[in-house]
Amino acid sequence: MIAFELNVGSPVDLEMTGKFVAPSSDWIHLSRILQDYELIVMTEGVLYLAGDDTRYSLSKGEYVLLPPYTRQYGYKASACSFYWLHFKTPGGLSVTDSAGPIADHADNRLLLPQYGSVKSLEKMIVMMKQLQDSVRAYNQKTLNNYMTTVILCELYNQVFQIEHHPVRKTKQEQLYNDIIDYIKWSRSEHIKVSQIAAYFGYNEKYLSHLFSTISGIPLKQYILQQKMELAKFLLSDTNQNISEVSLQLGYKDCHNFMKSFKKIVGLTPTEFRNAYAKRLLFYE
């Protein structure tokens, strides 16, 4: 597995960033030689992209990091969208090639696999959207460089999240993981603790106690937090109005959604959207 060692003792240098949406289903990525590092994080569809002799088929939630002097080109029509950023590093990045898993680094050095999947796509998108807003609103180099470095650190933490937290072995801990997955895939619905308990065949109080013991927060609170993470993504990456976002999250009453969002995030949905409103949209 190829990975790049990044020293975050000082920030990287942001060159460009943006969101790309394919203008048609027959769009093919242009052919070029990269002059800097490029990170691509997929949001929709499939991107058929090659870097030198390696071909990638990138789907939603996957990323690729390509180094300078890579011959980059599309090898097939791609109906897709993705966020991207170009950056340089003082002294460049070290390259590691390993057949086995890549261990994480301590201190100021991180290892970023060239290709992989993110744990929380919504969080990555919100952070990249915030970077775009900063570029448009301030265009302050130091700020943008640090924000880019934070995104790369977040990517590292998401990639190695499983390694940091080994697979749980007990029956209770496996149930906890199953609940996490269930909430992740059902958070656009109106989920209740009683519904989750019925699905897994456990007493509601027992399930709530087990979840709070392992996670440190009540199950009901976790459900709400996950809904608001999805809401932040929808507010950042789509043009849906507040009522549409509310309905997509399973709220029948828009006011209840706005109240819940303000409680968790500290801003109203409109305030959150306006805080990072300056999206950079590019067509190649």
Q: What confidence tens digit (pLDDT) does each residue in 228-274 have?
A: 988 988 888 888 899 999 998 888 889 999 999 998 888 899 988 88
Question: How many CA atoms does the CB half-sphere of 178 hold within 13 Å?
Answer: 15
Per-residue pLDDT of the chain (284 residues; tens, 9 = 90+): 788 888 888 899 999 999 999 999 999 999 999 999 999 999 999 999 999 999 999 999 999 999 999 999 999 999 999 999 999 987 666 777 755 445 555 567 888 899 999 988 888 998 999 899 888 888 899 999 999 999 999 999 898 764 444 444 578 888 888 998 898 888 888 888 999 999 999 999 999 999 998 888 899 999 998 899 889 888 888 888 999 999 988 888 899 999 999 988 888 999 888 877 666 655 44
- Residues 6 or more apart whose Cβ sits within 8 Å of residue 167: none
- Residues 6 or more apart whose Cβ sits within 8 Å of residue 243: 254
Residue type, 159: V
Nearest partner of 2 among 71, 82, 100, judged by Cα = 100
- Angle of the 254-265 helix axis to the 219-237 helix axis, nearest 10: 100
The DSSP code for 151 is: H
* 165 backbone φψ class: left, alpha, beta (φ>0; ψ -120 to 50): beta
Burial of 53 (0-12, 13-18, 19+ CB in 10 A): exposed
DSSP for 239-283, please give it: ---HHHHHHHTT-S-HHHHHHHHHHHHSS-HHHHHHHT----EE-
Please tell me the class of the 171-275 domain: mainly alpha
- Residues 6 or more apart whose Cβ sits within 8 Å of residue 273: 235, 236
Q: What is the CATH number of domain 2-164?
A: 2.60.120.280
Domain edges within the chain = 2-164, 171-275
Cβ pair 51, 32 in contact under 8 A: no
Q: Structure tokens of 106? A: 């301590």
